[in-house]
Amino acid sequence: MPARLVDEHLEELARLVDTAGAEVAGSLIQRLASPHPATYIGRGKADQLKILAEEQSATLIVFDEDLSPAQGAALEKRIGVRVMDRTELILDIFALRARTAEARFQVELAQLEYMRPRLKRMWTHLSRTQGGIGTRGPGETQLETDRRMIDRRIARLRRELGHISRARGTRRKGRGEEFRVALVGYTNAGKSSILKSLSGSDLFVEDRLFATLDSATRGVELGSGYRALVTDTVGFIRKLPHGLVASFHATLEEVAEADLLVHVIDASSPSWDHQVEAVEDVLHEIGAVGHPTVLAFNKVDQLTHTEEDALRLRAANLFGPHVLTSTREQYGLASLKSALRMRVQGERPTVELSVPVSDGKTLAQAYRESEVLNRRDTDTEVVLTTRATRALIGAWEQQPGIEVRVRKKT
């Protein structure tokens, strides 16, 4: 791995540690052709890490890679300090950030599935609602009791999340023909800020990794009578734990079933291309690859004119059409709203609507709820060429005295 990428990975790990509420005291790097089967890093490097931890009075060591249960146990025994890998750190952050009951269920499920094979090296046991005589079988060890408790809790959480998933599916069906957009992207790319600016709603926004875990859906007016339901989803990250992706399946269904994805990219990040790859990996895992997508390079206000020109050229060469966005007023989101409006337009058929001159109610509805492209008046009727939703077209077709001719879909 190039030195630049190593530095970026360590910087991201430091931000994760900061988000979890700890302070970075130092770092250590070892280049290996393959991980050591017993301790991941070499024994000599482990001893060096022990000395560094003692010098800095460190109480926790975080690896940027995933450790097996045996490797974690061996390192803790050799160094004498609590050892955590990248997956456990991210799970800890998700637990810290979970606000709704659904998010807490999702995170707890992922934590328990991560914890189960690692119970042997844990210093404390799970808290219990019951304890003492009668809570364990004859000859059953504490480890077996904990595993049994975890298995029961995992089964219960899966049932709860199944109920939530079905309820979410019912709500999606109730949205009818609303055009659905899902914002996806690397954590801290600015998805929540974009939704807040697009919708004018009060959403929690913070300049930290995984500031929000709960999906939020808002109606966004796009102009010319067009509207979309836009959903902000949990941010992705390099090596996002598989257990989290599985646990957040109900939430990520919003992505897989959206009419359009807006992939928000942090243009100010020097490694945005690698972040794009990480996001695409997760999209592949949830079955959302190949969806219609708009690429939105966000935070362009943080670039110089030279950097912005270079970004435009590189993005055009790599991806083709894209938009540049910023929630700062001088840049704005006009290009993104325009791109969304064009996509919604493409989903609406163009119809020719003949309405009696005396039917002012239907004429007012056409101007209010559809995009009128042309109008022709005669003595007895008004003929409108308009783009309208299928639901509205169906309602017109049921009204006596009104003639509807679907011309084309643009």
355: CB partners within 8 A, 6+ apart:
362, 363, 366, 381, 382, 383, 384, 402
Q: What are phi and psi of 17, to 5 degrees?
A: -60, -40
Q: Is 320 helix (H, G, I), strand (E, B) or coil?
A: coil
DSSP state of 186: B
The per-residue pLDDT for 225 is: 76
The per-residue pLDDT for 174 is: 61
Nearest-5° Cα angle at 248, 244 to 252: 125
Rounded-to-integer distance, Cα 346 and Cα 409, Å: 7
Residues pairing with 223 in the sheet: 226
Pairing label, strands 260-266, 180-185: parallel
CATH numbers and ranges of domains, the chain: 3-84 (3.40.50), 177-345 (3.40.50.300), 348-409 (3.30.70.240)
Rounded-to-integer distance, Cα 85 and Cα 96, Å: 17
Query: For 228-257, what is the mean pLDDT?
Result: 83
Query: In the predicted model, is pLDDT for residue 239 greater than 70?
Result: yes
| Cβ–Cβ < 8 Å for 147, 195 | no
Query: For 225-241, what is the mean pLDDT?
Result: 87
Rounded-to-integer distance, Cα 215 and Cα 231, Å: 7
The per-residue pLDDT for 144 is: 79
The per-residue pLDDT for 294 is: 95
pLDDT digits (tens, 9 = 90+) for 312-365: 999 999 998 999 999 886 668 999 999 999 998 888 889 999 999 999 999 999
Query: In the predicted model, is pLDDT for residue 83 greater than 70?
Result: yes
Rounded-to-integer distance, Cα 230 and Cα 181, Å: 5
H helices of 286-349, where? 305-319, 334-347
pLDDT digits (tens, 9 = 90+) for 121-172: 554 334 444 444 444 444 456 777 788 888 999 999 989 888 887 887 776 6
pLDDT digits (tens, 9 = 90+) for 361-397: 999 999 988 889 999 999 999 999 998 888 889 999 9
Q: How confident is the model at residue 36 (pLDDT cuts 50, 70, 90)?
A: very high
Rounded-to-integer distance, Cα 143 and Cα 139, Å: 12
The per-residue pLDDT for 120 is: 65
Per the model's pLDDT, the better-predicted residue between 1 and 252 turns out to be 252
The per-residue pLDDT for 164 is: 81
Q: Write down the mean pLDDT value for the chain.
A: 85
pLDDT digits (tens, 9 = 90+) for 172-228: 666 666 889 999 999 989 999 999 999 987 776 666 677 767 778 899 999 877 889
DSSP state of 102: H
155: CB partners within 8 A, 6+ apart:
none
H helices of 233-293, where? 242-247, 249-256, 272-285
The per-residue pLDDT for 139 is: 46
Query: For 75-95, what is the mean pLDDT?
Result: 91
